[in-house]
Structure 1
Amino acid sequence: FQSGGDSDVAADVQLEDVKQCSETRPGTNGSRKAKKRSLWSYLHKEVRRGYQLEEQRYEKRRAKFYAFFRIPRELERFVGYGFLQCADAFLSVLTLLPVRFALAAGLLGARLVGRRRLQPAESCDLLKGLVLLGTWLLASQVDTSMLYHIVKSQSVIKLYIFFNMLEVADKLFSSFGQDILDALLWTATEPEPRRARRRLGLLAHLMLAMAYVLLHCLLVMLQATTLSVAINSQNKALLTIMMSNNFVELKGMVFKKFAKNNLFQMACSDVRERFHYVVLLLVVIVQTMREYSWRHEQLWSLLCDCLLVLVAEVLVDWVKHAFVTRFNAISWQVYREYLTSLAYDLASSKLHTAPSDHGDLVSRRLGFTPLPLAALVLRVMAWPPCSVRLALLTYVWCVTVLTASYHFAAKELVKGSLISFFFVTPAQTFCDKEISTASCHCVIITWQKMPS
């Protein structure tokens, strides 16, 4: 070890060397030439300083930038296809279900005579028709005019809180509502040996299902009434607050960790929510135009406000999905996988041996239950006195039939442009001396890639 004095001397010598090296630079002849530093020399070096970007890192950053702006386009393709599936399930309740219900009721009368028994699909159609008919008749007893004036008399803050509570309740009802309907349908079509396992009878399940659909229909009616008050009021403060509420959703969603399955659930929820808003706004337009005797001047102002609500919803979905995929490093191609999943459900539901109705598959996949919305639409369209009611029912029936033919053509167009399916003969296997048909009947052959 060195002594304290020697170490101080060595430190001073090293400091002298450092200072001397900092004040000199290598010359052409190998000697060191001193150069005085100045502000001008520093600025000159900073201005003329060169550098080269790292290719691999900046290439990835540019790809992320491009993917960020590609997310909205891929999201809208998925949402558009899911929207058509929701429209298919909703319009089927208004057009095909009444016909199937009438046929099932006639076959039920034939069964009482002893000619034949009802098939499981016919029993399901009969129960769905009873639930829809009972909900429509009970919801028709509610006076929407009185409900509108009660809601309108409340303050803006109360209505804002009330609308948020209705949104939460609607999501909760949609989450377990299909389970209640599935329990009813399975109770009606359950094989004889397994009926001893059920705890409630068919009538109890029917009452529970009707109570659920009625409560959900009344909840959606309150949503439509609150939205109508916000749109038709002279002060647009409530409508502005309700639109800004969509942006609050970004705070709770963007910075959470999402896997692919969680993103798929969120995308399906957005599809269902967008279709729900479209139906609500149509109900608001019909109710308002009826009060104004169908004047065109009022229609244009209504359409502008409704368009603002939809545009705010779409923009929030774009920003939300763009940042969620960016923060969780999820590729934009995942939306095509989601689209394939929806197309697979559509193809498998159209087989002769389909495990469930297409509307039920949409309800489970997207969380959309069409019966409450259908009951609300029937309630809004068929409430005036009997003389006018018959004319309106005839008009609505013609419109819904035409719309059903249109949505069938649109569905075939979308199905043909997105994906081609090939239906194979179901593979049959023997298990415990019972023949079971394979649950997967649909094989995807080709995926026609959409233009980039």
Structure 2
Amino acid sequence: MGHKKKLHIDVSLNITTTKRTSLWKLLLHEFNISNNTNQKSNDSINNDNNIQLLFNYVKLPIHLEKFMIFGLIYTLVVFLKLLVIIPFRWIIHTLILIISTFTNKSKRIKLPKFNSISYKNDSIAVSNIIITLLLLKNIDTSRIYHNIRSGTAIKLYFMTQVLEIADRLLSASGIDILKSLFRVNIRKRKINFIFIYGLSIIYLYIHSYVLVYQVMALNVAINSYSNALLTLILSNQFSELKSAVFKRTEREGLFQISSSDLNERFLLLIMLIIISSRNFLQILINTSSTNDFFNNIKPNSWLTNITPWIMVDNWLGLLIGPSILVIGSELLVDWIKHSYIIRFNRIKPSIYDKYTKILSNDFINGLNGSSNQINDYPSLLTKRTGFPITTLLIVFCKLSVFPYIKHFTTNLLNNYSTIISSILILLLIFVLITLLIFIRLLLSIILLNWSKEILSKPILKNDYTLGEPNVNTSNISDVRKSLYNSEIETIPPTVEEKRLKKLSDRKVDADDSLSNVVRFEMADKRIW
């Protein structure tokens, strides 16, 4: 008890290092007259660190958008694979299986071989999508639209928050359900397969219903004649700042935040495409009175001073105008959020290059087939970022693809005979599928070359700026650390020393710890 804690004082000043201080020394101290050279060096180091933090603000958008652009292209490639490649591949393999079954073996017709495991996974995926779409057949989007539009502001705010939480919870559960579905052995465990398959259908139906409500809420906001609802939707994006900025975040946690923002951007883009396509379909339906249609349907919610250059009197401005506000606000919120996260945690913007490198490695491993296709179906991206690719595809087909098919089918049947209409519909579908396959292959080539370029470049090992907190040796001296504790106490290890010891005990390289991070597993203090 005789030991007293020392006060936290600046040890860099000569006036505090002596037991007695004269008036003369105190006067010199007040006028900042000192012959201490160590103070000058410390000030210069701190100044360099502060300048580095300011430069990080400028560098952040470049590094962040590189990661986002690569991730968006990667996600689009996976989305197109599930949209056109897997169903088309399943049809071809099914035809080959039927022909090989009913063909006489004596004819020795050489048929191309296919992987049985891949065919099983394709069959499960296609059947899941078809059954869920059939269950969603009778869903009334018009009633959902008007129910959302007639609600009060408080009700809508509460609904959007609940839908966002439900989306994340269902995405986490969906990964486990679908992973178990593709892992189970159908021949040995038929009862388990039937149970998990039924559970997957229930999950896809509920999650699709949640996403339909999210799309309709955004559609109401865009087509609203007042700014209230659109302001409500945009305010939800800025609420992310409160939940993410003022928390301590490690590199692993920042990777999960980045994955969450990547999923949110792609989901937002698909929603805007769905809304724009539905608005454009209404334009096609009302082509006979286009001028009156624009005067009646054109919303005022997005007509702000930010977008005065958009031609609001034509269909291009009607479709693109709302998207600029929504995407622009999303970019602004992401830049602000990540800027302050790396500022408070002293993380360098180059960390996003490592995240991009991890996605590049996942993409190349997926093409090389080095990963287990059963466990990572249809792509490593769904496991890494937790993106609900199957659910989004179902919603996209329900709200955007099927209305166009219904519209063109009705028009063709009214103008031509049944045979000619069927031929034209099949021809149109074939051309569309061919175009999507070409786009998917082109994006895959671009992404493959980009991935090789990223993996060939060396990346800086140091991910942190000097100062607290960081995982490298900080510029706090042992003398200053001793002032925090009494003489009988042992100086506890700093956060940096704990992290370095943890990595050395695990015998894992710091960069390898990032490669093991997935979205819905606890890599930091919370799941983002």
- TM-score of Structure 1 vs Structure 2, range by shorter chain: 0.7 to 0.9
- CA distance in structure 1 between the aligned counterparts of 2:458 and 2:427, rounded to whole angstroms: 41
Q: Given residue 163 of structure 1, which amino acid in structure 2 is its aligned partner?
A: T
The yes-or-no answer on 1:379 pairing with 2:398 is yes
Q: Is the contact made by 1:349 and 1:358 (CA closer than 8 Å) also made in structure 2?
A: no
Q: Given residue 86 of structure 1, which amino acid in structure 2 is its aligned partner?
A: T
Corresponding residue SS for 1:382: helix
The yes-or-no answer on 1:401 pairing with 2:434 is yes
Written as runs of structure 1 = structure 2, the 5 A alignment for 1:23-42 is none
Name which of 40, 50, 55 aligns with 1:61: 50
- CA distance in structure 1 between the aligned counterparts of 2:183 and 2:81, rounded to whole angstroms: 21
Structure 1 unpaired stretches of 5+: 1-17, 26-41, 422-443
- CA distance in structure 2 between the aligned counterparts of 1:108 and 1:203, rounded to whole angstroms: 23
The yes-or-no answer on 1:129 pairing with 2:130 is no
Q: Which is greater in Rg? A: 1
- CA distance in structure 2 between the aligned counterparts of 1:305 and 1:238, rounded to whole angstroms: 13
Q: Given residue 95 of structure 2, which amino acid in structure 1 is its aligned partner?
A: G
Q: Is the contact made by 1:173 and 1:216 (CA closer than 8 Å) also made in structure 2?
A: yes
Q: Is the contact made by 2:354 and 2:459 (CA closer than 8 Å) also made in structure 1?
A: no
Q: Is the contact made by 1:89 and 1:358 (CA closer than 8 Å) also made in structure 2?
A: no
1:239 alignment partner in structure 2: 230
The yes-or-no answer on 1:86 pairing with 2:83 is no
Q: How far off its partner does 1:410 sit?
A: 2.7
- CA distance in structure 1 between the aligned counterparts of 2:175 and 2:98, rounded to whole angstroms: 29
- CA distance in structure 2 between the aligned counterparts of 1:118 and 1:334, rounded to whole angstroms: 39
Corresponding residue SS for 1:82: helix
Q: Is the contact made by 1:281 and 1:306 (CA closer than 8 Å) also made in structure 2?
A: yes
The yes-or-no answer on 1:98 pairing with 2:87 is yes
Name which of 323, 334, 341 aligns with 1:324: 341
- CA distance in structure 2 between the aligned counterparts of 1:240 and 1:223, rounded to whole angstroms: 15
Going from structure 1 to structure 2, the CA distance change for 1:419 and 1:353 (only over 3 Å counts) comes to closer
Q: Given residue 412 of structure 1, which amino acid in structure 2 is its aligned partner?
A: I
Corresponding residue SS for 2:352: helix
Going from structure 1 to structure 2, the CA distance change for 1:371 and 1:396 (only over 3 Å counts) comes to farther
Asked which structure has the greater RCO (Cα within 8 Å, sep 6+), the reply is 2
1:186 alignment partner in structure 2: 183
Deviations 1:122-160 (A, max 9, x none): 100011010111122222221212222222222232122
Corresponding residue SS for 2:184: helix
- CA distance in structure 2 between the aligned counterparts of 1:371 and 1:346, rounded to whole angstroms: 18
Q: Is the contact made by 1:71 and 1:318 (CA closer than 8 Å) also made in structure 2?
A: yes
Q: Is the contact made by 1:107 and 1:118 (CA closer than 8 Å) also made in structure 2?
A: no
1:248 alignment partner in structure 2: 239
Q: Is the contact made by 2:353 and 2:459 (CA closer than 8 Å) also made in structure 1?
A: no
Deviations 1:295-338 (A, max 9, x none): 67244134222211111111111111111111112122211111
Corresponding residue SS for 1:201: helix
1:370 alignment partner in structure 2: 389
- CA distance in structure 2 between the aligned counterparts of 1:398 and 1:209, rounded to whole angstroms: 32
Q: Given residue 434 of structure 2, which amino acid in structure 1 is its aligned partner?
A: V
Please, which moves more after superposition, 230-239 or 292-301?
292-301
Written as runs of structure 1 = structure 2, the 5 A alignment for 1:254-293 is 254-293=245-284
Percent of matched pairs sharing the same residue: 25
Q: Given residue 360 of structure 1, which amino acid in structure 2 is its aligned partner?
A: S
Written as runs of structure 1 = structure 2, the 5 A alignment for 1:92-241 is 92-107=81-96, 109=98, 119-188=116-185, 195=188, 200-241=191-232
- CA distance in structure 1 between the aligned counterparts of 2:250 and 2:325, rounded to whole angstroms: 32
Q: Given residue 343 of structure 2, which amino acid in structure 1 is its aligned partner?
A: R
Name which of 427, 436, 445 aligns with 1:412: 445
Q: Is the contact made by 2:364 and 2:451 (CA closer than 8 Å) also made in structure 1?
A: no
Q: Given residue 457 of structure 2, which amino acid in structure 1 is its aligned partner?
A: W
Q: Is the contact made by 2:53 and 2:346 (CA closer than 8 Å) also made in structure 1?
A: no
1:71 alignment partner in structure 2: 60
Q: Is the contact made by 1:174 and 1:367 (CA closer than 8 Å) also made in structure 2?
A: yes
Q: Is the contact made by 2:56 and 2:349 (CA closer than 8 Å) also made in structure 1?
A: yes
- CA distance in structure 2 between the aligned counterparts of 1:126 and 1:73, rounded to whole angstroms: 41
- CA distance in structure 1 between the aligned counterparts of 2:350 and 2:138, rounded to whole angstroms: 49
Please, which moves more after superposition, 297-306 or 252-261?
297-306
Q: Is the contact made by 2:74 and 2:447 (CA closer than 8 Å) also made in structure 1?
A: no
Deviations 1:327-377 (A, max 9, x none): 112122211111111011111111245412563311111111211111122
Q: Given residue 101 of structure 1, which amino acid in structure 2 is its aligned partner?
A: W
How many pairs are equivalent? Answer: 380
- CA distance in structure 1 between the aligned counterparts of 2:236 and 2:350, rounded to whole angstroms: 30
Going from structure 1 to structure 2, the CA distance change for 1:340 and 1:395 (only over 3 Å counts) comes to same
TM norm structure 1: 0.75
Q: How far off its partner does 1:395 sit?
A: 4.5
Please, which moves more after superposition, 398-407 or 314-323?
398-407
- CA distance in structure 2 between the aligned counterparts of 1:72 and 1:284, rounded to whole angstroms: 28
TM norm structure 2: 0.65
Q: Given residue 387 of structure 1, which amino acid in structure 2 is its aligned partner?
A: T
Going from structure 1 to structure 2, the CA distance change for 1:270 and 1:102 (only over 3 Å counts) comes to same
- CA distance in structure 1 between the aligned counterparts of 2:392 and 2:229, rounded to whole angstroms: 24
Q: Given residue 410 of structure 2, which amino acid in structure 1 is its aligned partner?
A: S
- CA distance in structure 1 between the aligned counterparts of 2:179 and 2:100, rounded to whole angstroms: 24
Going from structure 1 to structure 2, the CA distance change for 1:404 and 1:342 (only over 3 Å counts) comes to same
Q: How far off its partner does 1:403 sit?
A: 3.4
Q: Is the contact made by 1:91 and 1:400 (CA closer than 8 Å) also made in structure 2?
A: no
- CA distance in structure 2 between the aligned counterparts of 1:340 and 1:245, rounded to whole angstroms: 31
Q: How far off its partner does 1:113 sit?
A: 6.4
Q: Is the contact made by 2:129 and 2:394 (CA closer than 8 Å) also made in structure 1?
A: yes
Please, which moves more after superposition, 399-408 or 346-355?
399-408
Q: How far off its partner does 1:261 sit?
A: 0.7
Corresponding residue SS for 1:330: coil
Going from structure 1 to structure 2, the CA distance change for 1:392 and 1:367 (only over 3 Å counts) comes to farther
Q: Given residue 447 of structure 1, which amino acid in structure 2 is its aligned partner?
A: K
Bigger strand share: 1
Written as runs of structure 1 = structure 2, the 5 A alignment for 1:307-322 is 307-322=324-339
- CA distance in structure 2 between the aligned counterparts of 1:388 and 1:90, rounded to whole angstroms: 29
